Each structure stands twice: as structure tokens, then as C-alpha cells.
């Protein structure tokens, strides 16, 4: 009897040690599978839409105060719902009715009140900046519509931040490019609704769509590792050294990271503002994105030093 009790005790101790890790690994694999499936469905849906801009009404006065706004909700109801199975749609006043919890946790384990840092994320869209072609410049103000939320037929809860005035791909005659102008829709998703852990990088994440036609859909999952003062080649190498699933983000992936910088919790964890992407403009220059401004620089020497962070590869 004593030997049986001792054996059961040992089994219990081993189970207590290994079970949390085993459960965590199972959850990670499940989330990765669900994330891939959501990305595939959303990419297919976006590809079926002829254009992503121009939905709804978004009117502002001279002080940039929005006086009429049906844009995001119309995008979901009249556009996305035609190509994606959606069970429930919620306006900006009732997003918790679409399955969002009262709090979420960012990448650095900081608790955040929902509605998912709406003010912070809205400010990433509503940005007054100057674009220039080197000769003339003009002030640009990107107005973001009210957020809309929806639940998919597969049980995901998704917030949609929508820019009805998004413009085409980069390189418009030498004018400065900003991520805020290029992004058409920014999605914040929770794979299992208000069930836990409601944490960015686990059951929650971001997905962004750039350019109104020939759109590019990205869903960057970001490592917390950050590197300062590296060349573009060194940045790529640093990412590959993390593990087999790590790489330097594409231009659109880092524009998405820039838009969601505060939402992810990246602010306060680095003083760096300009980060490398994997995109090159020629053999000598590469693309860098400024996290605070959202500005895209395409003429940075690839041997110059900037900061870098890495994203997971799920293909």
C-alpha cells in the first residue's frame, strides 16, 4: 500500500509540473491553426471585393470633427458580409455584444481596459501630417470612422477600424508615403470571443488590409525581441537566429505594426522609432517605417543602422 501511495504521489507531482506546459503547447498549436484559418478566409473574402474604399458616409467639419459616420458599419454590412459568413454585427456603442471581454492583455502582460484602447488606435488613424515631393507639400488629415464589430460563423470576434479614403500602392510621383493613408481596414480579432486568456499574441491578434484594389492582407504576430543599431542584413540575420519561424517583417506587416503599436503594448519598451522591413528599393537602399509617424522611408542605405523586430512565420 505504501508503495502504491508513493507511486501515486510521484505521478501527481510529475503531472502538476508537466500539465501546464503541455496544456500551453496544445493551446498554442490550436491558436496557430485557428489564426491560419482566419487569415485564409479573410484573404479570400477581401480578394472577392472589387474595391475597399468608399463605403458609407464619413463627413467632417472644418475642425475635423466628424458630423456623420456610417462608414465602418456599412463596410461590414454592405461589403464584407457579402463575401464572409458573419453571424452578428455590432455598432461602436455595443462592441461587447459581439463577444469582446471587458479587458485584454497586451504582448508585455499589461492589462488594458477595452474597448481595446480605441482612443489610442483611433489616434493612429487621425493623424495630421505633411506630405511632400521635395518641391511642394500639403497637409493631410486622415479621418478614421467609428469602429464596428462582428462575429464570424466560426466563432471569432472581430473589430474593424475602417478608412474609406485609403489610397493605392506606394510611390505616387515622389510624394511621401504614410501607413495611415494606405491602410483600408485594420482588424483586431479574438479567436474565441470573450473566453480567456484574451491576450495579444495568443488568442488575440491584428490583421490589416492595405490598398483599395489588388489589396494585401497581413496578420503579423510579433516577437517581443527588439534589436537596435543594425543594418538591414544584420536585422534579417538576427530574426533568423531566434528560431526557424522568425523573419524580418515585410513592408505591409510593419506598417500594420506601426498602426497597432500602442495596442500591442510596444510603446514604452523601446526608444527606437525607425525599424527595418525586408523590402528593398534597389541594391543599395531598403524600406524603413517610423513607428510614431507611420512614415515610410524608401531611400535608407541598407548599410545604415536602424532598429529591428521580428515576426512569426506561419506558412
For every residue of 130-144, DSSP letters joined together read: EEE-SS-EEEEEPPP
Going by C-beta distance under 8 Å and a sequence separation of 6 or more, which residues neighbour residue 146?
A: 66, 69, 71, 72, 73, 91, 92
Among 113-127, 158-172, 191-205, 284-298, the range scoring the smallest mean pLDDT is 113-127
In the chain, how many domains are there?
2
If asked whether residues 51 and 193 sit together in one domain, one would say: yes
pLDDT value, residue 211? 95
Residue 251 placed within a domain: yes
If asked whether residues 137 and 152 sit together in one domain, one would say: yes
Q: What is the pLDDT of residues 188-226, one digit of tens each?
A: 999 998 888 999 999 999 999 999 999 999 999 999 999
Residue 5 placed within a domain: no
Does pLDDT of 41 surpass 50?
yes
If asked whether residues 115 and 151 sit together in one domain, one would say: yes
Q: What is the pLDDT of residues 69-95, one digit of tens each?
A: 889 999 999 999 999 999 999 988 888
261-280 average pLDDT score: 87
Residue 256 placed within a domain: yes
Q: Which of 218, 251, 267 is the last residue of a domain?
A: 218
Better pLDDT: 6 or 118:
6
The CATH number given to whatever domain includes residue 228 is 3.10.100.10
If asked whether residues 230 and 204 sit together in one domain, one would say: no
Does pLDDT of 235 surpass 80?
yes
Residue 25 placed within a domain: no
Contact in structure between 218 and 287 (CB atoms under 8 Å): no
* Average pLDDT along the chain: 84
pLDDT value, residue 21? 46
Residue 6 placed within a domain: no
If asked whether residues 153 and 247 sit together in one domain, one would say: no
Q: Which of 179, 196, 218 is the last residue of a domain?
A: 218
If asked whether residues 41 and 170 sit together in one domain, one would say: yes
If asked whether residues 132 and 279 sit together in one domain, one would say: no
pLDDT value, residue 170? 67
Q: Which of 203, 218, 233 is the last residue of a domain?
A: 218
53-81 average pLDDT score: 84
Dihedral of CA atoms 103, 104, 106, 111 in degrees, nearest 10, equals 30
If asked whether residues 154 and 226 sit together in one domain, one would say: no
Better pLDDT: 140 or 97:
97
pTM, full prediction:
0.86
Residue 167 placed within a domain: yes
Residue 13 placed within a domain: no
pLDDT value, residue 22? 45
244-258 average pLDDT score: 94
Strand partners, 103: 113
If asked whether residues 153 and 295 sit together in one domain, one would say: no
Residue 11 placed within a domain: no
Provide the domain limits for residue 297: 222-312
If asked whether residues 154 and 68 sit together in one domain, one would say: yes
If asked whether residues 182 and 57 sit together in one domain, one would say: yes
Does pLDDT of 185 surpass 90?
yes
If asked whether residues 62 and 201 sit together in one domain, one would say: yes
Contact in structure between 266 and 308 (CB atoms under 8 Å): no
> Is the preceding omega at residue 80 within 30 degrees of 0, hence cis?
no
Does pLDDT of 260 surpass 60?
yes
Amino acid at each position: 500500500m505504501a508503495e502504491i501511495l508513493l507511486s501515486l504521489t510521484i505521478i501527481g507531482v510529475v503531472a502538476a509540473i508537466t500539465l501546464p506546459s503541455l496544456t500551453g503547447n496544445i493551446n498554442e498549436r490550436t491558436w496557430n491553426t485557428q489564426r491560419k484559418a482566419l487569415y485564409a478566409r479573410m484573404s479570400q473574402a477581401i480578394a472577392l471585393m472589387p474595391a475597399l474604399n468608399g463605403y458609407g458616409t464619413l463627413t467632417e467639419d472644418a475642425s475635423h470633427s466628424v458630423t456623420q459616420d456610417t462608414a465602418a458599419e456599412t463596410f461590414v454590412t454592405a461589403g464584407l458580409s457579402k463575401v464572409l459568413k458573419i453571424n452578428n454585427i455590432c455598432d461602436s456603442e455595443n462592441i461587447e455584444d459581439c463577444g469582446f471581454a471587458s479587458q485584454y492583455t497586451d504582448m508585455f502582460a499589461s492589462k488594458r481596459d477595452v474597448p481595446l484602447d480605441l482612443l489610442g488606435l483611433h489616434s493612429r488613424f487621425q493623424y495630421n501630417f505633411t506630405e511632400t515631393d521635395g518641391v511642394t507639400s500639403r497637409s493631410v488629415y486622415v479621418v478614421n470612422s467609428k469602429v464596428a464589430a462582428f462575429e464570424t460563423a466560426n466563432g471569432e470576434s472581430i473589430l474593424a477600424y475602417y478608412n474609406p479614403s485609403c489610397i493605392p500602392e506606394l510611390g505616387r510621383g515622389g510624394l511621401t508615403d504614410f501607413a495611415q493613408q494606405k491602410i483600408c481596414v485594420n482588424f483586431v480579432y479574438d479567436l474565441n470571443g470573450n473566453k480567456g486568456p484574451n491576450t495579444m499574441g495568443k488568442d488575440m491578434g491584428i490583421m490589416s488590409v492595405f490598398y483599395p484594389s489588388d489589396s494585401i492582407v497581413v496578420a503579423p504576430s510579433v516577437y517581443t525581441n527588439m534589436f537596435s543599431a543594425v543594418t538591414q542584413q544584420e536585422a534579417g540575420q538576427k530574426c533568423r537566429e531566434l528560431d526557424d519561424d522568425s523573419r524580418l517583417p515585410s513592408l505591409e506587416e510593419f506598417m500594420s505594426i506601426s498602426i497597432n503599436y500602442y495596442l500591442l503594448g510596444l510603446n514604452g519598451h523601446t526608444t527606437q522609432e525607425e525599424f527595418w522591413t525586408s523590402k528593398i528599393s534597389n541594391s543599395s537602399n531598403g524600406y524603413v517605417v517610423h513607428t510614431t509617424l507611420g512614415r515610410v522611408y524608401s531611400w535608407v542605405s541598407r548599410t545604415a543602422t536602424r532598429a529591428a523586430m521580428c515576426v512569426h512565420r506561419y506558412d
